Structure 1
Amino acid sequence: MSSKERPTLGGTRIKTRKRNIAAPLDPASFADAIVQIYLERGGDLELIAKDVEASDLDFSRYGETFFEVVYTGGRIQLGSTKPEEGERQPYSILNCDASREKILPHVLFIQKIIRRRPFMIKSLENVMQRQLQSLELYEQVDRLKLAIFTALTFTQKLSGLPPENIFSVLLKDSLVAKGTVLGFITDCFREYLVENSFDDLIALLKRAKIEDRLLEFFPMQKRTIEAFSEHFSKAGLAPLVEYNKKKVFEVKLKELKTYLTDQISENADMGEVIESVKQRCKEAKLPDADVVRTVWEALMDAIQWSGKNQQQNINLALRQVKTWGTLLGSFTHTGKLQLELIYTIQTYCYEDAKLMKLFPEIIRALYDQDVLAEDTILFWFRKGSNPKGRQTFVQGLEPFVKWLEEAEEEE
């Protein structure tokens, strides 16, 4: 090869990289086409649905524009409720009366469209989120329409619509502080309960992951249990008030149980623990029966159980009862609460096979420490209503009861 010749790469092609050339976006023309269908059909949703299904419009690209037309009658400016330029149709959700009878047909119409084009559920979700984020820009009557529509979408179980994504946008501090969010969810819950049970509402709240966050819908200065109860009681949602009280109690009881378990495990001072628990119960207004159950569970949770040695487990449990019996006695000052304690111990021993034979010894130990009165033990023995393992436990306790009765006769 001559020194003047330049080397080449034989057989190699140099390919030019192709660019993805997208068609120009034109949501305005798409919106005009949908508006025209509405106008030609005079707002008849049955006929509009047929025309939409027969059209070759690009719903995958302009799905959100479609739902803006359904919601408001035309396109809206981003971040506002102001209309964009272009023709509008007067048969939208926000142009009808604020009643389920008028809004339900729109929900059923959307349901038909989404069944044919499931991919549009994401577009509906995005538009609903934008509408809810702009709640304060709407008049009260329009917020009511949005609440009714939102409730009906879940009543009709629009396929694939995630409640957690819809309700989560309402928890922004800027929206909550103005109070409009609280009014919206109140109307939404009330409307949902027209055709659904309270259990259905709770299931919806759980799917939306807000069943433990309802108080966060209140402005900060009103974020109290009392304000919650007053608001939803006036709104005719008393079951929600009771449910929230129960949830609050559950959280407080869980915190109490954790505190007690730690204190018992660390062998803290008995008197200080009792005073601290009483103060916590007073502040949280915890029901006495729940406190009794929680103290017992904490007592057992603090035990370092042996994996295999059953007798060792029995000894550990009995020692725990004898050591901390005074703690139990501080919260069983009536016969009714003592009976609640026996039922709690009965259920606990029934559900833990390694403690089935321990029930009589626990009762005897608590009697010796004056935690359980003789009358309470005899009442449970003769008339106790908890069926869990009752026959076995009665047989096990019979010698002790016989001893009590004989001592009573001697006196």
Structure 2
Amino acid sequence: MSTKERPTLGGTRIKTRKRNIAAPLDPASFADAIAQIYIDHGGDLELIAKDVEASELDFSRYGETFFEVVYTGGRIQFGSTKPEEGERQPYCILNSEASREKILPYVLFIQKIIRRRPFMIKSLENVMQRLLQSLELYGQIDRLKLAIFTALTFSQKLSGLPPENIFSVLLKDSLVAKGTVLGFITDCFNEYLVENSFDDLIALLKRAKIEDRLLEFFPMQKRTMECFSEHFSKAGLIPLVEYNEKKVFDVKLKELRNYLADQFSEDVNMDELMESLKQRCKEASLPDAEVVRTVWEALMDAIQWSGKNQQQNVNLALRQVKTWGALLGSFTNTGKLELELIYTIQTYCYEDAKLMKLFPEIIRALYEKDVLAEDTILFWFKKGSNPKGRQIFVKGLEPFVKWLEEAEEED
């Protein structure tokens, strides 16, 4: 056997191949270590935070295990509230009192940990999702604690926690059907409003993308506006009831406006359109004043404005008013509604500079179509209360008003 060494190239280094050495997966030991830190410091969160920050435990791998210990005192079996074997610590969120004062320190503690280890926000999100998906397995008091914690988490603006991913898991059929979710979000909203305004709550619901889905948190048999109003009124959330009613109302008006837009683009019978429109407004319980404003806006939206050509704009607007004026007239059957129409036209012309000179022409056209009465026009001219562009519009209408007064004297 030859003992000669193998030839090598001078000046080269032989690289040793590194092995991929994987650390053993041992979440149980990690959970025991965290629980022991809690026990050693008797639940003092300041001291616990210092030890956690100084430790060399693998939080990137066992972040979810860490938050399980913070919430429940130890590891929990997936899909249940039963504990896994191992060390348990009694100073957890679910062992605290169901009050803001007792739970807020845990939120601040988690906030401090995440500031040092931002990557753990995803682990917190995953654990919160699992706990909320298991709400039905917890008692009413524990659900209240979770609601308080969730509200405080967003109230304290825990960096990076997406409300959409937290609240969306609550729309689980089994949770919704039993009313579990409805009670949870009610407690959560009330707690959030302790230190935040109602506008802040609406902003949170928008970020969570549930602002328009609140009715989905009600069991199917109670998914009505009446049940919505009754439930949240009893819970002291009357502003939420009023806000939702306005949202529903705005949706109805938008649907009406879209319906009219479709009708204006077709060759429809005026009488049939009037009847259909009145029926829709009755079913939607829309007040006549809102209908008058909506019909006017829909009429103007249907015009293809010609830009800077003022005379052409006047002609287009007048043609639209004369064509569809009877539709407006079917809803202006009182002096008060006629005045509401004038205010609507006044505001509309004021908000678009190119339409400022249109106002007197439109008023005259509506008078000729018997939509506006002489008395209403004179009342607006002398005592109208809408200040938007009033001086300009009054001056523009002077010749027509003078003509009306002279005609009245002759009569």
Separation in 2 of the partners of 1:188 and 1:207? 16
The whole-number CA distance in structure 1 between the counterparts of 2:137 and 2:226 is: 29
CA deviation profile, 1:85-110 (whole Å, cap 9, x unmatched): 11111111111111111111111111
After TM superposition, the structure 1 stretch with the greater mean CA deviation from structure 2, 386-395 or 74-83, is 386-395
Residue in structure 1 matched with residue 174 of structure 2 by the alignment: 174
What is the aligned partner in structure 1 of residue 12 from structure 2? none
Q: Which residue of 2 aligns with 1:206?
A: 206
Question: Which residue does 1:404 correspond to in 2?
Answer: 404
Q: What does residue 34 of structure 1 align with?
A: 34
The match for 1:3 is none
Paired with 1:377 and 1:69, the residues of 2 have a C-alpha distance of 74
Q: Distance in 2 between matches of 1:161 and 1:114?
A: 11
In structure 1, the partner of 2:159 is 159
Identity of aligned residues (%): 89
**Would you say the 8 A contact 1:314–1:354 is kept in 2?**
no
Query: Aligned equivalents of 1:156 and 1:170: distance in 2?
Result: 21
Q: Which amino acid aligns with 1:332?
A: T
* CA distance, structure 2, for counterparts of residue 330 and residue 312 of structure 1: 28
Once the two structures are superposed, the pairs formed by residues 116-265 of structure 1 within 5 Å of their partners are: 116-265=116-265
CA contact (8 A) 1:265 1:303 kept: no
Q: In the alignment, does 2:50 pair up with 1:50? A: yes
d(CA) in 2 for partners of 1:103, 1:246: 35
Equivalent position amino acid for 1:302 in 2:
A
- The corresponding residue for 2:107 is 107
Structure 2 Cα separation of the partners of residues 196 and 310 of structure 1: 50
What is the TM-score normalised by the length of structure 1?
Answer: 0.93
Do the aligned partners of 2:305 and 2:313 also contact (CA within 8 Å) in 1?
A: yes
Determine the C-alpha separation between the residues in 1 that align with 2:99 and 2:134. 21
Distance apart, 1:377 and its partner CA: 1.6
Scaled by the length of structure 2, what TM-score is found? 0.93
User: 5+ residue gaps in structure 1?
Assistant: 1-14
Aligned to 1:381: 381
Separation in structure 2 between the aligned mates of residue 64 and residue 106 of structure 1, nearest angstrom: 16
User: How far did residue 175 of structure 1 move?
Assistant: 2.2
What is the CA–CA distance in structure 1 between the aligned matches of 2:129 and 2:227, rounded to whole Å? 27
SS in 2 for 1:385: coil
Q: Relative to 1, partners in 2 of residues 1:321 and 1:227: Cα closer, same or farther, differing over 3 Å?
A: same
Residue segments in structure 2 that go unaligned for 5+ positions in a row: 1-14
Comparing 223-232 with 263-272, which one deviates more in the overlay?
263-272
- Say whether the 8 Å CA contact 2:308–2:354 is kept in structure 1: no
State the 1:309 CA deviation: 3.2
Deviations 1:260-316 (A, max 9, x none): 011011131112211222122111212332221111111111223334533222211
Tell me the residue number matched to 2:74.
74
> Could you tell me which residue of structure 2 aligns to residue 313 of structure 1?
313
Partner of 1:89: 89
What amino acid is the match of 2:82? Answer: K
| CA separation of 1:250 and 1:17: change in aligned 2, threshold 3 A | farther
CA distance in 2, matches of 1:47, 1:64: 21
SS at match of 2:84: coil
Q: In structure 2, how many angstroms separate the alpha carbons of the residues matched to 1:85 and 1:267?
A: 76
